Amino acid sequence: MRRFSQYAFEISDVSHVSFWKKAGPMDRVYIGYGLLVVLLVVISYLLGATGALPYDPQEINLELIMAPPNTGGHLLGTDFMGRDMLSRLIISIQAYFLPGLLAIGIAIVFGTCFGVFAGYWGGALETATTYVSNLLNSFPRLVLILLMVAAFKPDIYYIMIIVGVTNIPVVASLIHSKIQFLKQKNFIEAATALGLNNCTIIFKHILWHNCRSVLIIQATLGMAEAILMETSLSYLGFGVQEPTPSWGNMVQAGSNYFMQGKFWPSTAPALAILFAIMGFHLLGDGLNSMLERKGDR
Amino acid sequence: MKLSAVRPITVLVTRELGIAALLLLGVSFVVFVILYLSPGNPFATLVTRIETAADPGAAAAAPATWYGQYFTWLKNLFKGNLGNSIRTGLPVLQEVVRVGINTLYLTIGSLLVTLLIAVPIAVFSARRGMTPTSWSMTVFTYVVSALPVFWLGYIVIYISIHRFGLFPLAFGSSAGPWNWFYFLLPVLVLGISNGTISEVVRYLREEMKRVFAEEYIVTARAKGASVWKHSFKEGFLIPITEIIAAKIPFILGGAVVVEQVFNWPGMGRMAWQAAQDRDYPLIMGITLVAAIIVRMGSLMQRVVHIIVNPRASKE
C-alpha cells in the first residue's frame, strides 16, 4: 500500500533541485545562446514595429551601391540599390514573426487535441488520429505549399497555416506517447478515484503539470521551422515580395551579384538566417535535455 | 506473449501494404479538396479536359457533384491518366516520371551523404560520451543544419567556377571526364545542409545510449561478447530506418530549392515552374508522386521493423 505522499510526489514530479542546476554545462551554453537569439528577435521585432530604425529600409541611395560594412554610416553596408542593410535585416523579422506565431499556435493547439484524443481515450479515436497524422506526414511540406500557392495565392499567412498543419503530427505523437507513459503511473487513476472530472485531469494534471515543457520545446522548434520555410519560400519567390524585405528574398536579390565576387548582399541575410535558426534549434534541444531527462546526468 | 500469438510476417507486411494504399487514397482526397476549394473551379475544368482527352468524340462535361468529379478523376488516376500539362500539353504522368528519376538520384544521394556525416558522429558521441571532440562535432552539426541551403549552393558554385573552372549548372550536357562532378555537387550540398543532420545525430545518439544501458547489453558486455553485434538491431538498424523514413519529406522539400539553385531538371524545379504557371494537373501529379515516394520510405521502415521484431505487430 503506497502512502498518499508518494502519489502527491508523482502528481507534480517536483524535485527541489532547480532546473538550471540540473542542466549540463553544454546545455547552459545552448540555452544561453538560444535565449540571446530570442531576445534579439523580439527586440528587433519591436524596433521594426515602432519604426525606430537607423535608416528608412526603402530609401534608395544610388551613390552608395553595395557598400561594404561600416561605410558612410551604414553599419552593415548597403544592398544593390543602396538601401541600408541593417535596417532591412531588422524589418525582415516582420515577415516571419507573427506568421510564425500563427503556425506555432496551430501546431500546438491541434496537436495537443489530437494527442489527448489518441492517448487519453484511445480506441477508434486513436486509430483515426494516427491515420490523419500519417496522412499529413505523407506530404513533403514544400511541395504541399507549392500546391497551395498554385491553388490559391502566394500569401505568407496561407504558407504558415500549412507549416502549422504539417507540424500537428509531431506535437500529437509527442503528447500521445507522453500520456501513454503517464497512464502507467498511478496518479491519473488516483485522480479518477477522487472523482475529478476528465477536464481537470487533462488540463491540470496532464497538460499543465506534465506536458508544459514538451509544448514549450515544440514551440521553439516550430519557430525555427517557420523561419526556414519563410526564407525558402521567399527565396523561391512565393513568400514576401520584393520591395518588402525578408531574409529569403534578400539572399535571392543579392545572389545576382554573387558570381561577380560581391558576396556581402546575400551573405549578410544568410548569416542572419543561420544564427537565428541555430539559436532556436539549440534552445529547443537544450531545454529538452534540461527539462525532459530528469536526473540522468 | 505466446509464440502462437505472433502472426506470420507475410500477413503483417500485407497489412502494411493495405495501410499504405489507404493513406495514398487519403492523399488523393486531400489534393482534390485543395483544388476543389480553390477559386475559379479549376478542378471541374481539369476533369473535363481529362475526359475529352481520353475520348475526343464524346461531348464530355464534368459531373456536377463534388464526389462525381472526385471519382471520375480517381478512375482516370488508376488508369494512369492525370491529364495533360496546361503549359506544355504533354501527359503529366510521363513528364513527372521522367524528371522524378533525377529527383530520386538527388534524394537518395544526399540521404547517403547525410548519413555518412551523421552516423560516425552519433556513434562516436554515444560511445565516448561528451568529450571536447564530440562536443565540437555536435556544435558543427548544429551550424551545418542551420545553413541556408541556397547560400551554400552559391558558395559551392562560386568556388567551383573560380577555383576549378567548372560550371556546375550544365546538367548532363557535358560528356567529359568531369561529368560526375555536376552530379556530385548538388548531392553534396543537399546532403550537408538539408537541415536534418543535427536531428539525425541527436536521435541516433539518444537511442544508442538507451540501448547501451539496457540489461541485455550489460550482460553481453560482462560475458565479453560483442556489444556491437548485440546492440545492432535495436540500437542501430531500427532507429536509422525510422529517422530515414521521417526525414525523406524534408529532403524532398530541400530538393525543390537545390534543384532551383543548380538548375537540376527534377520534380522540385518542375513543381516550382508549375506553381508559377498555375499548372494544376502538373502540380497535382507531382504532389501525388512525392507522397508515393514518402509512403515507400515509411513502408520500408515498417517492413524492417516487422522483420526485426515480429511481435510489434500491434501498433
Domains of chain B are: 3-38+82-314 (1.10.3720.10)
> Does residue B215 contact residue B137 with C-beta atoms inside 8 Å?
no
- Residue B305 is predicted with a pLDDT of 86
Gyration radius of chain B over CA positions: 24
The set of cell numbers assigned to B291 is 507522397
- Residue B111 is predicted with a pLDDT of 92
pLDDT band of B116, cuts 50, 70, 90? very high
- Of the candidates A151, A261, A266, the beta carbon closest to that of B38 is on A151
Domain segments of chain A as ranges: 2-8+23-291
Identity at A276, one-letter amino acid code: A
pLDDT tens-digit profile of B221-241? 899 888 888 888 888 888 999
Asked if A150 and B280 come within 8 Å (Cβ–Cβ), the reply is: yes
Among B62-66, B168-172, B276-280, the least confident range: B168-172
Asked if A143 and B271 come within 8 Å (Cβ–Cβ), the reply is: yes
Alpha-carbon distance B22 to nearest alpha carbon in chain A (angstroms): 9
- Of the candidates B30, B256, B284, the beta carbon closest to that of A135 is on B30
Local mean pLDDT, 10-residue blocks, chain A (297 residues): 45 56 78 92 89 78 76 77 84 88 94 90 87 90 89 86 91 90 84 85 84 89 90 86 85 84 85 92 88 56
Residue A214, beta-bridge partner list: none
Residues of chain A contacting residue B281, judged by C-beta atoms under 8 Å apart: none
Compute the count of residue pairs across chains A and B with CB atoms less than 8 Å apart.
Answer: 143
Alpha-carbon distance B39 to nearest alpha carbon in chain A (angstroms): 7
pLDDT band of B176, cuts 50, 70, 90? low
Span B298-307, mean pLDDT? 87
Which of the residues A147, A165, A220 would you substitute to probe the B interface, choosing the one with the greatest number of B C-beta atoms within 10 Å?
A147
- Residue B55 is predicted with a pLDDT of 64
Alpha-carbon distance B10 to nearest alpha carbon in chain A (angstroms): 22
- Of the candidates B146, B246, B287, the beta carbon closest to that of A274 is on B146
- Residue B128 is predicted with a pLDDT of 83
- Residue B58 is predicted with a pLDDT of 59
The set of cell numbers assigned to B219 is 550482460
Domain A2-8+23-291 fold: MetI-like fold (1.10.3720)
Would you call A84 helix, strand, or coil by DSSP? strand
Identity at B200, one-letter amino acid code: V
ipTM comes to 0.87
Q: Is pLDDT above 90 for B113?
A: yes
- Residue B61 is predicted with a pLDDT of 65
Alpha-carbon distance B303 to nearest alpha carbon in chain A (angstroms): 16
pLDDT tens-digit profile of B262-295? 888 888 889 998 888 888 888 888 999 999 999 9
Which of the residues A30, A139, A267 would you substitute to probe the B interface, choosing the one with the greatest number of B C-beta atoms within 10 Å?
A139
Cα gap A210→A13, rounded to integer Å: 8
